[in-house]
Structure 1
C-alpha cells in the first residue's frame, strides 16, 4: 500500500515547484507593470484624453533686447517676461518646469544692474509659489545650481536628468505646464539673459488641457529618470504619447481650426507612439507648398562621435536632403536665417553655399541664406530662435539644426498645422510667426555673405578647416556684407 503513494510523491513535488515558479513569475510581472504605471507615472489631476479641452488660445511670445532696433510692427507680440508672469498669475495648483539652465540671478549684479531685473523678478515669483499653496516641480540637467537649492528649500520638488549617462549629450528642453491647462514651449531657458540679452521666440497656449496633458507626459518621462542611468524596459502608460504625426490633436486656436502634436529627441527618449523631432521636421518640410522659412542658432548637417578616443565626423543628411528635395523637386521657396556668432562653425558656410548652388540655371528655384549678425555679438547677445514656418504649418523646437544635437541631446518640438479658419477670421499663429521671421529677415542685422570669399574656401576638407587660423576665431573668414 505504501508503494504507489511513494511513487506519486515526487510527481506532486514537481507540480508544486512548477506552480510556485509560475506564481512567482506572474507576481514579478505584475510588480513590474504596476511599478511602471504607479511609481513612474504621476497623477494627472483627473484630466483624461476624453474630458480635456481643445478650445484654446495661443500667443506668440518674444524677447527682443533693448539695444536691438527692429522695425516696429503693427502687431506686437507678448514680451516673454510678461508671458511667464501671466502664467504664474493663472496658477492655482501646480507649475511644472523643464529647463537645462537655472541662472536667473547673475553673479555680477553691479555689471548687469538693469538687464538682470526681469530674471530676478521671475525667480522671486517662483519662490512665492509656496505661500500660495502651489506645487512647483522642476526637471533640469545635472547641474550644481544655487538657485535650484534655494527653490528646493522653499518646497519645490527638483529632479535631475543625467543625459551623459544615456547618450553623452545634454538636456536642451525648455517648457512649462501650469495646472495641466496652460503651456509654454520655446527657445528660452531659465536664464536672466533670455529676458534681456538674447533674442528668444516661443508660444504660450492657454486653456488647452489636451495639449498640456500630452506635454505633461514628456515631463513625466524626464521625472522618472531621476537617479537613473538607463531607460526602463517597461514603459509607463502615463508617458505614452497621446498624439503624433499620424494622429494629431484636433483643436481650435483662437479663431482657427488646427492640428497639433509634440515630438521629442533623441530617439532613445521617444516613448511609445511619440514622433521623433527629425520626423516632425520632415513632415513640415514635405507638406509645404509655397515657402519654408527657417530661423536657427546654427545649421550644420554633421554628427561628431567619439570612437576609441578619436572624434569621427559624418554627414547627417536628414534635414539637408529634405530641404534639397523641397527646393529642386517641388519648387518651394526656402529662406534660411542663421545666427552669426563666435561659435559658428566654418563648415556652415560650405553647406549653405551648396544649398544656394542648387538653383544655378534652374527656373522657379529659390534658396536664400542670411546670417543674423549683431556687432560685437557674443554668447550673451544672440538670436536664440529655433523654429520653422511654412505656408501651412509651424515647428517650434529646442535644437539648433545640428546633427549632433538631434542625435544626442534631449529636446521637444511642437508642430501646429492650420486646417481652416472660422468665419470671423483673425490673425493665425502661422501669420504671427511668419511676420516675426520677415521682420528679422529684412532687418539691418540679416546679412548675406560675400560670395567670392566663400568660393575660395568651400572645397577645403574638414581637417583643413579645423587646422586653419579662421577656425581658431578669425572673423575675417566670414566677412558679412
Structure 2
C-alpha cells in the first residue's frame, strides 16, 4: 500500500467526508447524563441490524471532544480509506478529518501505539497528525513487557469521561468491512479513570527515556476494582457492577484482574448458559517460536456443562481463509460434548474482483453468561493471555447481559452461521484455511 501525504488526505476529505454523514441515534443523552451502548460494525452487504455503529460512535466521540482524545491501539489507519472510496473508505477519511478538526480547536490528542507498526505505509495517520503538530505519539516498546506479542488493545477515551473498548482496530476497515463489537460509556469518569491507569502504562512504555519495565509499578497504577470489589454504577436506571481486566501478567498491577481469571470465573459461575463469540481460538500458543499446549480456557468450556447440570454452552467462531487449518479439530472436538453446540460464522466476500485484504470476517470477542458479560480486545489463542497486551470490560448487569444475548442469537440464527462439520470430509466448510503449522 502506498504512503499517503497530509495534503492528499486533506484533498480526499473535501471529496469524500461530505458524502459520509453521521446519522443514527446519538450515544450522548440530551440531558448530559451517563449512557452506555453495545456498538457494532456490520460489514457492507451483511443483512444484520445494529442500533449503534462503530463509525458513528467514534465520529461522535471525536467531534464532541473538548479537552482530550487518547487512543491505545495496535495501529491506526483511517487515511487508507482514500484507496477504497467506493467501498465505504470515506468513513475513514471522515474520522481522520474529525481528528484534524479536534486538534485544530485545541483538543489534546495522545496516541499510544505498538512500535512494530509505527512507520509502515499502511499506518500513516499518526505521522500525518504529528507532522501537522496536532498529536503526540508514543510508540509502545512491547519488547520491554514480553519477548513476543504486541499491544493489541483497541481503546478510545475522550475528555476523561467517555470510552470505547472492543474488538475493532482503530482503522477505516474495522468500521466498514469487518464485523466488530464493543462497549461505549459516556459521562462516566470513574470507568474512564480506571481505564486511564492501564493506558498510562502504555504511555509510559512508549516514552523515549523508558528502557525497562518498572518492578514494581508505582502505586498510582493500582486499582480497587476487580471481580471481588467491582465498581457499582447506575446508568439511566441500569445498575451494573463493572471492572476492567487486562493481559498480560506484567501489566496486572495490585487489584487488577487478569483476563484469563475473569473469563474462566465467569464460565465456572454460570448457572444456565455460556455463549461465546470469537475469531481465533485454540488451546495452544500460535505465535511463539516453540508453541505449547495451554488448555485453561478450553478446559473451562469442557468442564462447565459437565459440572453444572443443565448448563448450555454455545460457541460461535468467526472463520475465514486465515483461520488455522490445525485449529479446526479442536473446534470439532468441543461440538462432540454433551450440552455444547458449535457453529462457524462466515461473512461472504464483496462482489468485486479485488477483495480488501484482511477483512470480511466476524472479529467479535465477547462472552456472555446468565450473569456476566465479557467484552474484550483479545482473541483466544493462549498468546493473547500470556504475551499480548489487551483489555476487557467485565459487566454484571441484566441490561448488558440481555443486550449481548440478543446480539449472539441474532448471529447464531442468521444465514451466515452453520453447525460445524463433524465427520470424515469437512473440507467444504474448512477450506480455504491457513496451512501455517501451529509450530512454525
Q: Same fold (TM over 0.5)?
A: yes
Counterparts of 1:129 and 1:455, CA distance in 2: 51
Counterparts of 1:208-287 in structure 2, within 5 Å, are: 208-226=188-206, 227=208, 228-287=210-269
- The yes-or-no answer on 1:159 pairing with 2:147 is no
Q: Does 1:329 align with 2:307?
A: yes
Instruction: Choose which of 405, 415, 429 in structure 1 pairs with 2:400.
Output: 429
Q: Is the aligned partner of 1:88 residue 2:62?
A: yes
CA separation in 2, counterparts of 1:88 and 1:335?
A: 36
Distance apart, 1:295 and its partner CA = 0.5
Taking the TM superposition and a 5 Å limit, the aligned residue runs for 1:6-155 are 56-70=34-48, 72=49, 76-106=50-80, 109=83, 111-142=84-115, 143-144=118-119, 145-153=123-131, 154-155=133-134
Q: Is the 8 A contact 1:386 1:396 kept in 2?
A: yes
User: Do 1:56 and 1:251's aligned partners in 2 also have CA atoms closer than 8 Å?
Assistant: no
The residue number in structure 1 matching 2:344 is 371
Within 2, Cα distance between the matches of 1:225 and 1:469? Answer: 39
| Map of 2:5 onto structure 1 | none
CA–CA distance in structure 2, aligned partners of residues 287 and 349 of structure 1? 27
Q: How does 1:170-185 map to 2 (within 5 A)?
A: 170-185=150-165
Query: Is the 2:320–2:432 contact (alpha carbons within 8 Å) kept by the matching residues of 1?
Result: no
- 1:448-470 deviations in whole A, cap 9, x for unaligned? 233223699xxxxxxxxxxx997
Is contact 2:335–2:341 with CA below 8 Å preserved after alignment? yes
Tell me the distance in 2 between the aligned counterparts of 1:453 and 1:127: 55
> Residues of 2 paired with 1:345 and 1:235: CA distance?
37
Displacement of 1:272: 2.1
Which residue number in structure 1 is paired with residue 392 of structure 2?
A: 413
Could you tell me which residue of structure 2 aligns to residue 358 of structure 1? 337
Query: Which residue does the alignment assign to 1:348?
Result: 327
Partner deviation per Cα, 1:375-403 (whole Å, 9 max, x = no partner): 34862111111001111110011111111
CA contact (8 A) 1:350 1:454 kept: no
Whole-Å Cα distance in 1 between the matches of residues 107 and 342 of structure 2?
Answer: 46
Aligned-pair CA distance for 1:197 = 0.6
CA distance in 2, matches of 1:235, 1:401: 27
Structure 1 residue matching 2:152: 3-state secondary structure: coil
2:169 corresponds in structure 1 to: 189
* 1:469–1:117 distance in 2 versus 1, CA, 3 Å: closer
Q: Partners in 1 of 2:224 and 2:371 — Cα distance?
A: 23
Q: What's the CA shift for 1:408? A: 1.2
Q: CA RMSD in A?
A: 2.2
- Distance in 1 of aligned mates of 2:322 and 2:434: 9
Provide the rounded CA distance (Å) in 1 between the counterparts of 2:329 and 2:99. 45
Partner of 1:394: 373
Give the whole-Å Cα distance in 2 for the aligned partners of 1:406 and 1:229: 24
SS in 1 for 2:292: strand
Tell me, yes or no, if the aligned pair for 2:81 and 2:93 is still in contact at 8 Å. no
Counterpart check, 1:301 vs 2:301 = no
2:390, 2:433 → 1: CA distance?
A: 31
For the residue of structure 2 that corresponds to 1:106, the secondary structure is helix
Distance 1:345 1:452, change over 3 A: same
Matched residue, 1:49: none
| Bigger radius of gyration | 1
Q: CA deviation at 1:118?
A: 0.8
Query: Deviation of residue 368 (structure 1)?
Result: 0.6
Matched residue SS, 2:271: coil
1:371/1:446 contact within 8 Å kept: yes
In structure 2, do the counterparts of structure 1 residues 157 and 305 end up closer, same or farther at CA, with 3 Å as the change threshold?
A: closer
Give me the whole-angstrom Cα distance separating, in 2, the residues matched to 1:224 and 1:108: 33
Preserved CA contact (<8 Å) 1:106 1:112:
no
Larger mean CA deviation between 446-455 and 59-68 belongs to 446-455
- What TM-score, normalized by structure 1, do the two folds share? 0.76
Change beyond 3 A, Cα 1:94–1:202: same
Aligned to 2:412: 441
Name the structure 2 match of 1:472.
Answer: 435
**Residue aligned with 1:401, SS:** coil
CA contact (8 A) 2:248 2:390 kept: yes
- Give the deviation of 1:254 after TM superposition: 2.9
Distance 2:156 2:196 in 1: 9
In the other structure, the counterpart of 1:320 is 298
Structure 2: runs of 5+ lacking an equivalent: 1-32, 351-356
- How many residue pairs get aligned? The number is 385
Quickly say closer, same or farther: Cα 1:384–1:471, change in 2 above 3 A: closer
Query: SS of 1:188's equivalent?
Result: coil
User: What displacement does 1:66 show?
Assistant: 2.2
Q: Please state how far the C-alpha of 1:114 moved relative to its aligned partner.
A: 4.0
Deviation at 1:119, TM superposition (A): 0.8
Q: How far has the Cα of 1:201 moved from its partner?
A: 0.7
